[in-house]
Structures are given as C-alpha cells and as structure tokens.
Amino acid sequence: MSEATTDRSARETPALGQVERVERPRRPSAGQNALVFGWRAVLKFVHVPEQLFDLITTPIMFTLLFTFVFGGALAGTPQDYLQFFLPGILVQTVTFNAVYSGMGLSTDLEKGLFDRFRSLPIWPLAPFAGLMVGDILRHLIAGLIILTIGLVLGYRPEAGVPGVVAAFSLLIVIALGFGWIFLVLGLLVRTPMTVMTLGFSFLFPLVFASNVMVQPDTMPGWLQTIVAVNPVSLITTAMRGLMAGSASWGDLALALIAPAVLTVTLAPVVLALYRRR
C-alpha cells in the first residue's frame, strides 16, 4: 500500500475514517424496528411539510367546487349537498393519498435506500410497517383538515364526536387496505411518476363511478350495478352511516370486505416482491 498520497492531506483530519470498533447492541424487537420507521415518517413531515399541500389541495378544491357549484343543482341547496358529500370526500382523500405512499416507496427503492434496509439484520416487514405509520398520520392530518373545513362551511355530523371517531377509525382501516395496491405498484414500477399515473387512472373511475358525489338513481342501469358493488360505494355508505349515527353492522361488514381481501391477498405479494428484488 502506498502511503505517499495520503500523507499530504493527513494533517487536516488525522482521524478520518478511523473509528473504534463498535459491537452490536442487544437485538431489537420487530416492534422497535417498526417504530424507528414510524419516526422516520414523522421526520419527513417535519422536513417536507409541503407534502401536506399535495394531499389536501385536491380534496379542498373538490369540497368547495362540488358544494357551491354543483351542490344546489344536485341536492337542492349547497348546505344539503355538503351534508351528503363530506363523508364521501373523506373516502376520496384517503384513497388518493394511498397513491402518494406508493410513490414514496418507489422513490426509496429508486434511491437504493431499501438496499440498505434489506442488508440490515432487522425484521423484513419493518420498513412497510413504518410506511403505514406514516400513512396513518397522513390520513389523519388530511382527514381532520377536510373535516374542519366542512364544519366551518356548516357540515354537522349527527352522531357527534363518537360518530366522527368511529368514522375515522374505519377510514384508516380502509386506507391501509387500499395501501397494499400501491405498495405492490411501488415495488413493481421503477419510477414514482409512473406509479402516480397508473394509480390515478385506476382510482379516478373507481371514485367517480361510486356514490361519493351523487346518488346513482339517474345513472344508466349498467352503471348503477357497478356503483352498487363498487367497494368505494360500500365504504362511503358506511362512512355516512357512522357520521350520521345510522350505520348497521351489515354496512360495516360490507365496507370491510375490500380492505380485508386486499390485505390477505396482497400482503404476501408485497413480501415476496420485496425479498426477490
């Protein structure tokens, strides 16, 4: 080894790279690992608060436009329409947000960050658990902002605080269910922009061909059939029920079918794709 080249600059920082040997501490639990990734998600909020802007601009615009432009025509008065629309716009917000978490994953993979995580002796699913912690935070923040705007505009949940808490709990379960689709996309597709394009071209028809914006009575028969079985419709119905205090156990069960099926089928796919990369 030639030392001649190093001696010249050795004076400034004689200890560059000279680290003492450090042994591994006691092996952390899977839960501890997952919490670290959750902490990472929180830090990202602190450093990049702009990302919230992306999340809430569309739903705020939708709320205002639909309420004041179409609301009167659709429901008689903007006030009546807002009462109908707000639970639906919450569903739209969290499903659209799931696209952003797929983009985040795709970005991490593109940057090689997950290679580092995968070469660490940690619980293999911890990074995904951490993503979900971040997602839950995102959904809660976006949902609360939309709800606040709704309350300011005159929306009143008949079931009060317990109804809202129940509705938000359902919302998060549903969002996590849909999240799997975008984790798979994030793992399969190399570029974050493609994840977004694919995600929205799938979600737009799914959200519009539902009862989020309007009751399907005036739609053609074939479309009414689609709307009736569209998971987004089932979820929106349950949300409306919870916030109005009129939800049945049946409504809830129907709303939970899609998230449950997605979790059971896609979680193993995510794990397999992650391991195979």
Does residue 119 touch other proteins according to CB under 8 A? yes
CB of 105 to other proteins, least distance (A): 13
133 with 37: CB under 8 angstroms? Answer: yes
Does residue 49 touch other proteins according to CB under 8 A? no
Q: Which is nearer to other proteins, 48 or 223 (CB)?
A: 48
Identify residues 229-248 at the interface with other proteins (CB under 8 A). Answer: none
| Residues 216, 225: Cα–Cα separation, whole Å | 9
Please provide residue 133's backbone torsions phi and psi, each rounded to the nearest 5 degrees: -60, -45
In the structure encoding, which two tokens stand for residue 4, read together? 């001649």
Q: Mask 124-153, x = binds other proteins (CB under 8 A)?
A: --x---------------------------
| Residues 43, 216: Cα–Cα separation, whole Å | 43
Which residue in the set 30, 113, 260, 264 belongs to the binding site for other proteins (CB under 8 A)? 113
Does residue 277 touch other proteins according to CB under 8 A? yes
Q: Which is nearer to other proteins, 55 or 203 (CB)?
A: 55
Residue 273's Cβ-side half-sphere holds a number of Cα atoms within 13 Å equal to: 20
CB of 25 to other proteins, least distance (A): 4
In the structure encoding, which two tokens stand for residue 191, read together? 């570029």
Which residue in the set 17, 49, 220, 221 belongs to the binding site for other proteins (CB under 8 A)? 17
Does residue 6 touch other proteins according to CB under 8 A? yes
139 with 175: CB under 8 angstroms? Answer: yes
Size of the site for other proteins (CB under 8 A): 45
> Cα torsion for 211, 185, 264, 176, to the nearest 10°?
-60
In the structure encoding, which two tokens stand for residue 83, read together? 């009462």
User: 112: alpha, beta or left, given left = phi > 0 and alpha = psi -120 to 50?
Assistant: left
234 with 254: CB under 8 angstroms? Answer: yes
Identify residues 23-42 at the interface with other proteins (CB under 8 A). Answer: 23-28, 32-33, 36, 39-40
In the structure encoding, which two tokens stand for residue 258, read together? 């899609």
Q: Which is nearer to other proteins, 118 or 156 (CB)?
A: 118
Does residue 50 touch other proteins according to CB under 8 A? no
List residues binding other proteins (CB under 8 A): 1-2, 5-6, 9-10, 13, 15-28, 32-33, 36, 39-40, 43-44, 47-48, 108, 111-113, 115-122, 126, 276-277
